[in-house]
Amino acid sequence: MLRRRPPLLLGVAAAALGVALTTLILFALRDVAPVVSLGVVYLVVVLAVASVWNAWLGLGTALASALAFNFFHIPPTGRFTITGGENWVALIVFFGAAVLASSLTELARRRTIEAEERRQEADLSAEMARLLLRGGRLEEALPAVAERLARALDAPSASIVARAEPGTFPLREGPRQIGTLTVDAPEPVLRRIQVRIVPSLEALLAAALERDALMNDAVETAALRRSDVIKTALLRSVSHDLRSPLTAILTSAEALKLAPDERVELAEAITEEATRLSRLIDNLLDLSRLEAGAAEARPEWSSIEEVLTAAIDDVPSGDFKLSVDTDLPPVKADAAQLERAFANLLENAQRHSGGHPVSVRARDVGGRILVRVVDRGPGVPKAHQERIFEPFYRSGSRGSGLGLAIVRGFVEANGGRVWVESLPDQATSFVVELPVPVSSDPTGEPLVPNTQNDREERSP
């Protein structure tokens, strides 16, 4: 902020007091130096007044000093009369020096003010650049830039918008108006803004708009690239996973024509492969809804034991051992989505269990329901544990890469989360955590979380 000048009346009083004090001091210095050479002492007051206020007050102080010097110290004293050539020369030289000193002081003061304004404007430009180009949303940065500009220029208010509308200063990039700056300030401040602030603000706003356009292009490009990746993965999945059951169905259908004694076995194969094909199509549809954000949960009070039992029934070929704690509180979630999620999780565990039974355990741990699905397969390497939940990602050659992505999508849609715990060549445990709302069940009884297992190991 620039330092304000003190009031003019205070400057007049300071000049009068300074001239009076200097006049008194010269009486004491008469015995030290000749009177005609003592006028230079008045220059101290002239320089001080001119530097603090302005050149005009400095010139007035110089005139007052010359009159006081003449009246009190240049013979004949007590009147405004000068005798002797040396006294005229002394007074003229003094007054000229005072005028010159006052002018130089005012020039130095203006240069100082201008340098301070330039520094202030440079700081303002740097701050505006930081706010506009740091990467946030332009609509959120513009009010902060306007507030910083108003504070720097002592303006009552300022506003900036990135569109063409009536205002104090139109902001342009070439012939195109890209924004509007509106400032409530005196005319000198407005002229300064027009000459020194508006050009840099126009350049910064144009750069910010171009950056936003580039970021939008980058986001769109990334989305397109992601879409291409998903399409490629989908084609690979479809080409491999759909071909297998279709081949089995076609082969069995052809064999039915030739082997009537084996029709029951072939019919079972057709049913099994058609069911597998139907499940794959269901997974593709579920994933498409999740990717599109259309898989909105419809929560209602549900029993986890019933959800897990229904999910086990959806995987008839598996061997599952279900263990559910007694008095397990219900959860408020979409039962159909949770059933689909657990069915995919169970099918994945059964596929990697190596023929061993899959353990399913549900318990209340500190007000949360934890469901663990444990298989005795080869385990999941550390590097794959997070990626296995990505669509179409396969850690091996088996599976379509859809099931675990659907598991995560449906669990998170219902306010829960899922993760995997595994070590190489050891059992793999998939953990689903679901919140238990502190509310009431359909009968009106309060749900109080069971805390008897609070010491259980929490999520990683």
Sign of the CA dihedral 24, 29, 30, 31?
Answer: positive
Sign of the CA dihedral 281, 285, 286, 290?
Answer: positive
Q: Scanning the structure block, which residue is given the tokens 């238990």? A: 436
- State the average pLDDT over residues 139-156: 81
> Per-residue pLDDT for 332 more than 70?
yes
Q: Of the candidates 405, 404, 355, which has an alpha carbon nearest to the alpha carbon of residue 378?
A: 355
Task: Please report the beta strands in 390-438, taking only residues with DSSP state E, as ranges in sequence order.
Answer: 417-422, 428-435
Query: Are the C-beta atoms of residues 438 and 451 closer than 8 Å to each other?
Result: no
Identity of the residue numbered 408:
R
Angle at which helices 8-29 and 42-52 cross, to 10°: 170
CB-based contacts of 124, cutoff 8 Å, min separation 6: 148, 149, 152, 197
Return phi, psi of residue 434, to 5°.
Answer: -125, 135
pLDDT digits (tens, 9 = 90+) for 273-313: 777 677 677 766 666 666 666 667 788 998 999 999 999 98
pLDDT digits (tens, 9 = 90+) for 90-114: 567 666 766 776 777 777 777 777 7
Angle at which helices 85-133 and 42-52 cross, to 10°: 30
What local confidence, expressed as pLDDT, does residue 103 receive?
72
pLDDT digits (tens, 9 = 90+) for 6-24: 787 887 888 888 888 988 8
The two most distant CA atoms of the chain are separated, in Å, by 150
DSSP structure class, residue 267 = H
Distance CA 405, CA 390 (A): 5
User: pTM score, two decimals?
Assistant: 0.43
Q: Which residue has the higher pLDDT, 363 or 254?
A: 363
Calculate what percentage of the chain has a pLDDT beyond 90: 8
Which stretch, 126-135, 208-217, 359-368, 447-456, has highest mean pLDDT?
A: 359-368
Q: Scanning the structure block, which residue is given the tokens 């059992």? A: 427
Structure tokens belonging to residue 72: 């009190």
Least confident among 50-59, 370-379, 416-425: 50-59
Distance CA 90, CA 66 (A): 10
Specify the fold of 300-435.
Answer: Heat Shock Protein 90 (3.30.565)
Domain regions of the chain by residue span: 8-115, 300-435
Query: Are the C-beta atoms of residues 103 and 55 closer than 8 Å to each other?
Result: yes
Distance CA 109, CA 266 (A): 103
Distance CA 128, CA 148 (A): 8
Structure tokens belonging to residue 67: 């009159």
Rounded to 5, what percent of the chain is helix, strand, coil?
Answer: 60, 15, 30
